[in-house]
Structure 1
Amino acid sequence: MDDDEGRRRHYGQFYGLDDETRATGRRTGLVVGNCQAESLRLALGDELDLVRMPPVHEIVASDLPHLQRWLERSHVLITQPVRDDYHGLPIGSRQLAAALPAGARVVRIPVIRFAGLYPVHAIVRPPSDPSLTPPLVAYHDLRVLAEAAGLAAPAAVTPDAVRAIANESIDQLRRREQAHATVVVSDLFARPRFDQMRTLNHPGNAIWSALAERVGDALALSDPVPPLTRELLTSVHAPREAVVVETWGLEDAPTTDWIVEGDAVPAAHVRQEHLAWYARHPDAVTAGLERHAAALAALGVR
């Protein structure tokens, strides 16, 4: 089976491969966004027939007829903010909403990022190719980024730095919620816990259950959102720093390894691979220093 055929089977309902077996009589809808969208779709349960579809950054021109077909028959659109003509295609949030039938409901959800549990981690897009990510894990350790730039980082992260980065992260999330009139989740991080986030942008079940409940309220669903029976978005777990445990008064034990698809990947190995990658992609270092200047300053990088 080639990759394209495997993709079509994975999203079989979206591509019309199993309409007959999936006909349910329930209200139909789409959840549009990045990898977080699929987790929310699963968390919402079965009252709606929410179609599994490719994440928005993977949609290509040949997908548009299938997307249009589902939009025309959808009662519900749940969407993260997506700019008009994203990737040169008419798949922005406003464009998708405009294609819905009269009376369809639209609920906007934020892109969830919270750095207060992983204050040294960041996402960086190299200007030369924004699709590039470093090996092993797609997250950048700001201390390693600083090392690649020849800057000095303090020997230890302080609780003050953790709090400063957490506060700025929550402020950014609030601004995104307000700018796009989304369901609110920023208040959930008033007391951070590791069950809320597996990485800085991979929420855990505690967040999915709360967000699903709030989306269900916004849609006036008649049934309570069911409890989750499995862990969602769990392919990558970031190390849990001792200073984070101390700062938030958590009972969790600190960890030093990344967990990727169930396997432990030592942070020291990630550091070595990332330093080599930075040497090949110096524009990623420059972009990271600029984008995350505030967090680097909070960490005491000079």
Structure 2
Amino acid sequence: MIDEAADGARRRHYGSFYGLTPAPESLAIVMGNCQAESLRITLEGDDLATVRIPAVHELTSDDLPHLERLLPRVSLLVTQPIRDGYHDLPLGGAEMIARLPRGARHAIVPTIRHTALYPAHVIVRDHSRPLADPPIVVYHDLRELARAAGTPVRVDTEAIRAIAARSSDELRRRESLHGAIPVSDLVDPPRFDTMRTINHPGNPVFSALAVRVRESVGLAPVAADPGRPLLDSVHAPRDLEVIETWGLDDAPTDHWVVDGEVIPRDTVLSAHREWYREHPETVSFAVRRHAETLRMMQS
């Protein structure tokens, strides 16, 4: 059943996309996951009007006419690597670029994920079947998953450095594979102001990436100041071992911050333990999927 109030609020939030408010004659859109909107905000300027659109995983077939209505006005498309036929819709990066009007520019940016500061955290996804997320936060702690599987592990300096190096290598590999504007240097060396979770970059990353995107398409190399923290809804705990490994001055924390609410780590772990007992198939899948990282934690 459709929540009409929520649907109405969503449409107002994306007013120009849904035609509720006028759209510029020449505009830029950014397609991707939750990172896309933060990048759009920092790209905006006197020389570049942008339109907010839903994250790609939220788009449905009902949204396609609205996207088609905007496309003739798009002068710049910025997209993360999105596979053709995503969710059985023509939303792939190559598909979108092919439909741009003549003279429109485009840029590819990587999906930013880095584990240097949160080496035990993973998001468990299986493209072959839907998997539910655990309660409170979507981030699994591999230490807890391993414990649930009967093979406890630990995180020490050697593991932290090895996991970070592997994460950097993977980010650089994906940058090269997709011809994306590089960001790997922006999260190295690790700092908490650059990554709030494994996939929620902070303002310094978005600002620097916006400058690079604009420069790549011939615009002034500047970034808009949003006047607030971007992608700020979730902050992960900060482990002492991580702080000591990277020589950071930050104090350790033993809580999550979710939509402004401080939630003790133990509260999250307790909820996840109960959830794992109810979803043993996810535990088995996660342990297999992240076997290499778990091996690093055992050495």
TM-score (structure 2 length as normaliser): 0.95
Q: For 1:154-179, what per-residue CA distance to the aligned partner results, in whole angstroms no more than 9, with x for missing partners?
A: 3xx21111110000001110111011
Superposed counterparts of 1:137-286, under 5 Å: 137-154=137-154, 157-222=155-220, 224-286=222-284
Give the distance between the partners of 1:117 and 1:245, measured in 2 at CA. Answer: 8
Cα 1:127–1:106 change in 2 (3 A) is closer
1:292, distance to aligned residue in structure 2 (A): 1.0
- For 2:260 and 2:110, the matched residues in 1 are separated by 28
Aligned with 1:3 (options 2, 6, 9):
6
2:102 paired with 1:99: no
- Partner SS state of residue 297, structure 1: helix
**Root-mean-square deviation over aligned CA pairs:** 1.5
- Which residue pairs with 2:44 in the alignment? 45
Counterpart residue type for residue 11 of structure 2? R
Q: 1:68 touches 1:99 (CA, 8 Å); kept in 2? A: no
Give the counterpart letter for 2:18 in structure 1: Y
- The 2-side partners of 1:36 and 1:7 are apart by 18
Alpha-carbon separation, structure 1, partners of 2:256 and 2:41: 25
Counterpart Cα distance in 1 of 2:203 and 2:63 = 30
Q: Secondary structure at the match of 1:299?
A: helix
Q: TM-score, normalised by structure 1?
A: 0.94
Contact kept in structure 2, 1:83 and 1:93, CA below 8 Å: yes
Q: Any idea what SS the aligned residue of 1:82 has? A: coil
| Aligned structure 1 segments of 4 or more residues deviating by more than 6 angstroms | none
CA contact (8 A) 1:125 1:287 kept: no
- Cα distance in 2 between the residues matched to 1:289 and 1:228: 39
Q: How many residue pairs are counted as aligned between the two chains? A: 295
The percentage of counterpart residues that share the same residue type is 51
Within 5 Å, which residues of 2 pair with 1:71-90? 71-90=71-90
Once residues 108 and 204 of structure 1 are traced to their aligned partners in structure 2, the CA distance between those partners, rounded to angstroms, is 19
- Once residues 238 and 152 of structure 1 are traced to their aligned partners in structure 2, the CA distance between those partners, rounded to angstroms, is 21
Q: Which runs of 5+ in 1 are unaligned?
A: none
Amino acid in structure 1 at the alignment position of 2:284 = T
The CA distance in 1 between the partners of 2:93 and 2:212, in whole Å, is 20
Q: Does the C-alpha gap of structure 1 residues 126 and 76 become closer, same or farther in structure 2, counting only changes over 3 Å?
A: closer
**Does the residue aligned with 1:31 lie in a helix, a strand or coil?**
strand
Aligned-partner Cα distance in 2 for 1:240–1:152: 21
Segments of 5+ residues of structure 2 without an aligned counterpart are: none
Cα separation, partners in 2 of 1:127 and 1:191, compared to 1, 3 Å:
closer
Matched residue of 2:137: which SS? Answer: coil
Decide whether aligned partners of structure 1 residues 196 and 270 sit closer, same or farther in structure 2, where only a CA change above 3 A counts. same
State the shift of 1:242 in Å.
0.3
Q: How far did 1:224 drift?
A: 2.2
CA distance in 2: counterparts of 1:118 and 1:55, whole angstroms: 24
